[in-house]
Structure 1
Amino acid sequence: MAGNEVHLADHGFLPVELNHSQLPHVAEQMAGQLKGANAAVRELLLALSVGFALPGPLPADLQRKIDGGDVEGLDALVERAESAGLLTPDGTVVGPAQHALLTVAPTTRVHALQRELVSAYAEHGQPLGDLARELARGGLADPRVAAELEHAGDKALEQDPGLAAQLYDEALLAGADELGTAARRAQAAVGNGDLDTATRIIDTLLVCADPPDVRRGVDVAAAVWAQRGMLARGGDAYSWLGASRAGTSAPLAAVTMIGSGNVRGAKSLFRAEAPPAAPTLLAVALAETGKGIMESLAVEPHRALPVLIHASDMLNGTGAALPLPDTPAALAALLALHTGEPHLAETVCMSAVAAGQGGNAAKPRLFLLQAWSAMQQDRLEDARLAINEASKANHWPLVPRDEFMCAALEVGIARRNGEIAQLVMAWERAHEAMLHISVDLYSLLPWGELMIAAARLRETHRVAHYLDEANQLLGHLGDPPLWAVPFHWAAVQAALLSDSPAELAPHATALARAAAHSHLAAVFAAAGKAWVTVLARKIRPADVEAAARALGRVGMPWEGARLAGHAAARAEERKDMVRLLSCARDLHPQPSEAGNGKSRVPESRDAPAVGTNGTNPDGSGLSDREKEVARLVLEGKTYREIGEAIYISPRTAEHHIARMRRRLGAENRSDLMTRLRLALDSEDRQKE
């Protein structure tokens, strides 16, 4: 180090191995030393520090001095700078020297050199590239820099909205038109998941008398409203835009308006039979999305799903992240779930996630729809994994629409697990989430799940007005079977839980009416009739089994197993009970208590105990089924909850508990709980 310092001092320069805290002071010293004979070296180093490169054009003033012989030749200046340790062999000014030069040079001088540099690039037709970003961040206001950053932002907008947002912000620093870039900046923000920034930008744009790029601005506004769970407000934005200005956004207007129940408005802006304005992959994908949603309202909507899947495939091919009220993949998945094909919904979403459809902002919704598909197929662990993926898919919190679906998923999983404490907690979260959104066509599945849970928890009053809105929405759309059937089925289940024939009747009638055109409606209508016979204890085992297995075939095995299990608990003939329990086991295999991979078979109320004397050979005094009931009792479950968990009737659960109390000699419920814990602890120790 000492030798290096002596070498630099010999050339009249300070050493460059400096602490950052020393730089301001050293900058002044270096400026003082780079005078006289060293002034030309200083000019060269300053030019290189602002972006000029060797070999290449130099600032005109310095070049004139070199050409006129006023200073040494370029090679001599470079050699002096290199030997002083201020310039590397590749022509880069060393960091401390560069910082010192830029610190002491007047800002006007630096900016003048930067503009001259930009002119040199323009003269040779060479793009500025990353240099434009550095110049903008450094405070240079130049329309050429701003234009290049805008252009770079435009190129990145559909593929990388996060990068585009940065480029547009830098373009503003360089002097870009704030209003002229507003719609694109808002699109970048919403594509990156930053709804608040997008909202602020769009609000500023749309209040102008004649807003530029207004169609794009309305697309962004509608996408923001949709993600906030207020789809109807997006429909209002398209109504304000009008048919004359809708252009290629007409299909998005149709998706938004139909989702909020405005069929007339959708038809006024979008004609499904009209070809797209341009035959590009993106334009066709959007047109097919609008067409698919229109088709879904038909009495026989069988063409809607393939149209939307085609649209999803095409958008996957473009890799575009556009401001959409919903992606075609999400809409296709919803249609698949509404038609009893949850596996198809899952695969469509997985393909869209892999292709990056809709960008990072769309990923949480696609993962949540995967979770819903898994939950419906009774794969609860897979559903939880997909929920976890949704929560970390974006660096922003879940938007209100996705938060609502996530909360409804937690309710559905807890309900299917029979976890009352978890169900109550999930219900409270869902109740808070529903306060932030409004009802729309694309949220009927979560609302249906919450309707059932509300009936289960005797909380129907907390969702009643939302359900009224859902029924009104379906009425505005003509009660389309594809969308209405699952909601009516949820209402039937809720009515059965509430033991309310008056509430059951209109929904059962709607299912029966739709059965002529909808296979899923026919399945639900048969299942509803079977449930009524079970609750009335007028069971027809063949009809119940057929209905339960049909539910399994449309991707609802848990619902089918529950129907068969409840019927088995109420069957009068042992052969009927065994038949229905076998059906329930087929549809919903239960994990083995011993962890050996075998299914745990729900026993009948008259089934013999394992031991010869009615007890288990392990000495606990309880049969395997009694241990199963005991664990549920210790979890705080009621007779009814125990029956639902293991497919026995509440009365059978009560008999098991009474028998355990007698066998263990318990004097009261508290004593029974203590003795049950001891019995189960004894079994656990034996297993260890």
Structure 2
Amino acid sequence: MTLDDAPAGTSTVDVQDHPALTVLALRSVGVTPDPYLVAELAALPIPDAVRAIERVGAPPDPPSVLRHTVGPHGSTLLLRRVTASLLDAGVLAPDTAAALADAGVRLPTLVEFLTRAAASAPTDEAAALWDAAVAAGADPRRAAVPRARAALTAGDLDTATQHADVVLTDPSSSDDDLRSAARVAATVALHRGAPSHAAAVYRWLGAARVGSDVAHAVVSLLAVGDRDTAASFVAAAGTGLPTSATARDTLVAEGMLVSVSETPTAALSSVLRACALTGPSTEDHPASVAGLLAVHLGDPRTTREVLSEAATPRARLLGAWAAMLLGDTDAAEARVRETDPDGLDRRDSLWWSGLRAAVARRRGDAGALAATIADAHRLLVEVEPDLYTVLPIGELWLAATRLGDAGRIRHAVETTSSLLASLGEPPLWATAWHWYGVQAAILASAPADLVPHARVLGALAAHSPHAAAVAAAGRCWLRVLQGEPDADEVRACTRSLERFGHAWEAARLASDAALRVDDTRTATALLQTAREITSAAAVPDTASSTGELTGREAEVAQHLVLGLTYREIGARMYISAKTVEHHVARIRRRLGAGSRSQLLSMLRAAGYGQQEERDRP
């Protein structure tokens, strides 16, 4: 028996043909029927299962055929039986389970299966599986936290916020759920360039409930300069369970708090130790934080090394920034070109714009600078400047100044300046900002505007070698602009600037000084200095293709020859065992070693490890 109102052009199935109905039910949820599966589900011999599959064929719209054959209620009952059979047989796949839930199947066993599948699913599949679990009957309130996390990971910020708000506004939510929802809400706020909201979320949550999310809370609070609240969170962090995750997060939180103090180098050390306690695939790996701190300390080489642990858009942009500071402007420009700005959140879009401006400035491309500033105008209005946007806003400041359009970025510059002043001009963060101020004054041919920035840098010099180097360069540049260049001082300052990743500025200082000295021989020598700096910067700071190792690789090789494990090497170098493994793989490729034993032999022949072996008693 079939229904007369079956869709035109589709095959029909006899309502009494139970094996065929089983086949049709499978097709309706996207499962291609297999004779063995049909035989098991319908309790048939294999030949009968094959004939049932042949009778159904491949209708163009199986769900519609099923509904017209047995009706909506009958379709649901049949799919429930198929679900139970698939679960009993242990052959239910997550995508089939989701299709069954979408088709209207409501079963506790299906909810349990989907919940387990969603919890262990890849990041690009978890959100859909959690949605299916709710469709199958899971409590939306209990599923709100994992749904919020999954949506955030998938980049669906609106949905993540929606689910997080359900938890935050529910009086019955547990502290654990509130902490997780606060993490999602704050992360979304940071992605959207609204750090004030992220900080407000954590102030509401409080130090007593922040638990293992202390690092994220401290990062959010310091973004807007709330050092006192951040300090209270760090003080409460020591009460957690002594797990490696707790130790890692506490190190990050303590390091970030130290970063706004007068001892900036200790901040990087703390976060690097946290990196050594973190697996390579860990969400929110502290490598990005360490890389940012290193750039601000004038150590782009460390930034490049630690960012091998992270693969976020921000980490890739920051890695390109470090390459640019090391002289590889081509690598930075390639990153700008290959990055789709439409695929970035607002915060990362600001970093992309800053990198784009930095490359254009170094290329002397006025057209690209103008296009960058025009494109960044709305972004500068939408994104709230914070402690971690000093570099991109600084580059956009210089770009706008170069174009005589500094007014367009005045609000962002004033906000950043006020934030750093409220924190007492912390050396790690303020050094880069006031160095941008010095350069902006130079570009605007306004020596008087340079003085306040040089004065702050002079005060910071006692606490930071990086600040001392740029402070001296600022004073030197001021004298150059005033027509009183000292060639020896210029050469000394250019060497210091090079050491802290400012080779391009060092070359400009030497060139400017050469234009203002009266002695032809001195001018020629300064121009030669500028050419030498530019030539050295044009070669990326990597090993040659002839087998020479980079400094970091040489350090790994030294430990490797001594018989240390990857974990032991990582502990000594403050990097993870996985990063050590990556270094070893690069060393093998560089040397052409076919095996580990051959690699060790080649390293010993090159002299690695010999000194330490001689020093052993």
What TM-score, normalized to structure 1?
0.70
> Deviation string for 1:140-190 (max 9, x for gaps)?
12232123212221223xxx3221111112212212222322222222122
Go from structure 1 to structure 2 and tell me whether the alpha carbon gap of 1:575 and 1:440 turns closer, same or farther (over 3 Å shift): same
**Residue 302 of structure 1: how far off its partner (Å):** 1.6
> Deviation string for 1:461-484 (max 9, x for gaps)?
333332222222112222211111
**Residue 191 of structure 1: how far off its partner (Å):** 1.3
CA contact (8 A) 2:185 2:201 kept: yes
CA contact (8 A) 1:508 1:525 kept: yes
Structure 1 counterpart of 2:590? none
User: Do structure 1's residue 332 and structure 2's residue 290 form an aligned pair?
Assistant: yes
User: Do structure 1's residue 343 and structure 2's residue 301 form an aligned pair?
Assistant: yes
Determine helix, strand or coil for the equivalent of 2:310: helix
Structure 1 counterpart of 2:178? 214
| Match of residue 252, structure 2, among 273, 280, 289 | 289
Structure 2 counterpart of 1:82? 50
Structure 2 counterpart of 1:662? none
| Match of residue 111, structure 1, among 66, 76, 89 | 76
Structure 1 CA distance for aligned equivalents of residues 404 and 25 of structure 2: 77
User: Do structure 1's residue 166 and structure 2's residue 134 form an aligned pair?
Assistant: no
Structure 1 CA distance for aligned equivalents of residues 282 and 355 of structure 2: 29
> Deviation string for 1:246-301 (max 9, x for gaps)?
12112211111011100111122232872653514x44333322122112123122
Q: Aligned runs of 1:668-687 on 2, under 5 Å?
A: none
> Deviation string for 1:189-209 (max 9, x for gaps)?
221222233233334443333
| Match of residue 152, structure 2, among 190, 206, 231 | 190
Structure 2 counterpart of 1:490? 436
Structure 2 CA distance for aligned equivalents of residues 310 and 445 of structure 1: 24
**Residue 430 of structure 1: how far off its partner (Å):** 2.4
**More deviation in 426-435 or 575-584?**
426-435
Runs (5+) with no aligned partner, structure 1:
1-11, 14-21, 64-73, 88-92, 354-362, 593-688
Aligned residues: 528
Structure 1 CA distance for aligned equivalents of residues 326 and 196 of structure 2: 31
**Residue 42 of structure 1: how far off its partner (Å):** 4.5
Structure 1 counterpart of 2:567? none
CA contact (8 A) 1:364 1:389 kept: no
**More deviation in 503-512 or 536-545?**
503-512
Q: Aligned runs of 1:231-270 on 2, under 5 Å?
A: 231-270=195-234
| Identity rate, percent | 33
> Deviation string for 1:539-558 (max 9, x for gaps)?
11010011012111111111
Higher relative contact order (CA 8 A, sep 6+): 2
CA contact (8 A) 2:192 2:345 kept: yes
CA RMSD of aligned residues (A): 3.2
| Match of residue 386, structure 1, among 314, 335, 353 | 335
Go from structure 1 to structure 2 and tell me whether the alpha carbon gap of 1:566 and 1:242 turns closer, same or farther (over 3 Å shift): same
Go from structure 1 to structure 2 and tell me whether the alpha carbon gap of 1:82 and 1:476 turns closer, same or farther (over 3 Å shift): same
> Deviation string for 1:363-408 (max 9, x for gaps)?
221111122212223322110112234438xxx6211111111112
User: Do structure 1's residue 583 and structure 2's residue 529 form an aligned pair?
Assistant: yes
CA contact (8 A) 1:191 1:321 kept: no
**Residue 219 of structure 1: how far off its partner (Å):** 0.4
Structure 1 CA distance for aligned equivalents of residues 48 and 400 of structure 2: 83
Structure 2 counterpart of 1:515? 461
Structure 2 counterpart of 1:614? none
Structure 1 CA distance for aligned equivalents of residues 227 and 412 of structure 2: 21
Structure 2 counterpart of 1:686? none
What TM-score, normalized to structure 2?
0.78
Structure 1 counterpart of 2:585? none
Determine helix, strand or coil for the equivalent of 1:95: coil
1:379 partner amino acid: D
Q: Aligned runs of 1:561-572 on 2, under 5 Å?
A: 561-572=507-518
| Match of residue 138, structure 1, among 84, 87, 103 | 103
Structure 1 counterpart of 2:352? 406
Structure 2 counterpart of 1:27? 11
2:112 partner amino acid: A
User: Do structure 1's residue 541 and structure 2's residue 487 form an aligned pair?
Assistant: yes
**Residue 435 of structure 1: how far off its partner (Å):** 0.9
Structure 1 CA distance for aligned equivalents of residues 87 and 81 of structure 2: 10
Structure 1 counterpart of 2:608? none
Structure 2 CA distance for aligned equivalents of residues 217 and 494 of structure 1: 42
User: Do structure 1's residue 456 and structure 2's residue 424 form an aligned pair?
Assistant: no
Go from structure 1 to structure 2 and tell me whether the alpha carbon gap of 1:533 and 1:442 turns closer, same or farther (over 3 Å shift): same
**Residue 98 of structure 1: how far off its partner (Å):** 10
1:292 partner amino acid: G
2:522 partner amino acid: D
1:187 partner amino acid: R
Structure 2 CA distance for aligned equivalents of residues 43 and 427 of structure 1: 64
Q: Aligned runs of 1:262-281 on 2, under 5 Å?
A: 262-271=226-235, 274=238, 276-280=240-244
Structure 1 counterpart of 2:546? none
1:208 partner amino acid: D
CA contact (8 A) 2:441 2:447 kept: yes
Structure 2 CA distance for aligned equivalents of residues 420 and 264 of structure 1: 43
User: Do structure 1's residue 298 and structure 2's residue 261 form an aligned pair?
Assistant: yes
**Residue 126 of structure 1: how far off its partner (Å):** 7.9
CA contact (8 A) 1:272 1:290 kept: no
1:483 partner amino acid: W
> Deviation string for 1:443-498 (max 9, x for gaps)?
01112222323332332333333222222211222221111111111112222333
| Match of residue 323, structure 2, among 367, 371, 374 | 374
Structure 2 CA distance for aligned equivalents of residues 80 and 273 of structure 1: 66
CA contact (8 A) 1:187 1:220 kept: yes
CA contact (8 A) 2:20 2:53 kept: no
Structure 1 CA distance for aligned equivalents of residues 51 and 86 of structure 2: 29
| Match of residue 152, structure 1, among 105, 111, 117 | 117
CA contact (8 A) 1:46 1:102 kept: no
Could you say which structure has the higher helix fraction? Answer: 2
1:303 partner amino acid: A
User: Do structure 1's residue 95 and structure 2's residue 58 form an aligned pair?
Assistant: yes
Structure 2 CA distance for aligned equivalents of residues 274 and 590 of structure 1: 47
CA contact (8 A) 1:111 1:140 kept: yes
Structure 1 CA distance for aligned equivalents of residues 378 and 96 of structure 2: 49
Structure 1 CA distance for aligned equivalents of residues 509 and 255 of structure 2: 34
CA contact (8 A) 1:489 1:524 kept: yes
2:292 partner amino acid: L
**Residue 577 of structure 1: how far off its partner (Å):** 0.9
> Deviation string for 1:34-90 (max 9, x for gaps)?
75xxx465466567768898579978xx87xxxxxxxxxx44xx5345357628xxx
CA contact (8 A) 1:370 1:386 kept: no
| Structure exhibiting the larger radius of gyration computed from Cα positions | 1
> Deviation string for 1:516-550 (max 9, x for gaps)?
12111111111111111211121110100110121
1:553 partner amino acid: R
Runs (5+) with no aligned partner, structure 2:
539-617
Determine helix, strand or coil for the equivalent of 2:140: coil
CA contact (8 A) 1:491 1:504 kept: yes
Structure 1 counterpart of 2:614? none
